[in-house]
A = this chain, B = another copy of it.
Amino acid sequence: MPTPHYGQPRYRAIADELRERIETGAIPPGALLPAESALTAEFRAARGTIRQAIAVLREERLVATDHGRGTYANPSWNESGLTEGSEPKRSERQVAADPELAALFDVEVGAALIEQQSLIRANGVVGTVIRAYRVLWTKQ
């Protein structure tokens, strides 16, 4: 546990994990990554290690951090990144919570949720649709 960096250093492994979450849409474009303190808890890594991992992603332009605010995923949804991106593939709208979502978020059915939809295209055709839901009103 202390410092076994078999092959790959820890901060790179953490960077890989976070990169996957972003690329799979688990952390949708424009969303905030968990705070450094939350990541230290989740990965049970020191803050310096977490910051090193995020620095890797920042260098890849996969995230951008605002001082005092947080670290955002995919800040380049308006500028074509790797692909020429024929269409904007992100949209956000307000929807009502269906019974299942209401139970998960512990809110009333019909409560306002933010739905962020992203599309993943392969060869021009839509391969995956990702919908991320979060409560509009934190707290209640």
Residue ranges of A at the interface with B (Cβ–Cβ < 8 Å) = 24-28, 31, 34, 37-38, 55, 66, 101, 104-106, 118-120, 122, 125-134, 139
Q: How many copies does the complex hold?
A: 2
- Whether B133 lies near A133 (C-beta < 8 A) is no
CB distance from A75 to the nearest CB of B (A): 14
What are 15 residue pairs bridging A and B, where the CB atoms are less than 8 Å apart in the complex? A25-B132, A26-B118, A26-B130, A31-B128, A37-B55, A104-B119, A105-B129, A127-B134, A128-B132, A128-B133, A128-B134, A129-B134, A131-B131, A131-B132, A131-B133
CB distance from A132 to the nearest CB of B (A): 5
Give the one of A104, A106, A128, A133 with max B CB within 10 A.
A128
- Measured CA separation A112–B126 after assembly (Å): 15
A26 neighbours in B (Cβ, 8 Å):
118, 120, 130
- Whether B131 lies near A130 (C-beta < 8 A) is yes
- Measured CA separation A133–B130 after assembly (Å): 6
- Nearest chain B residue, comparing its CB with the CB of A101: B129
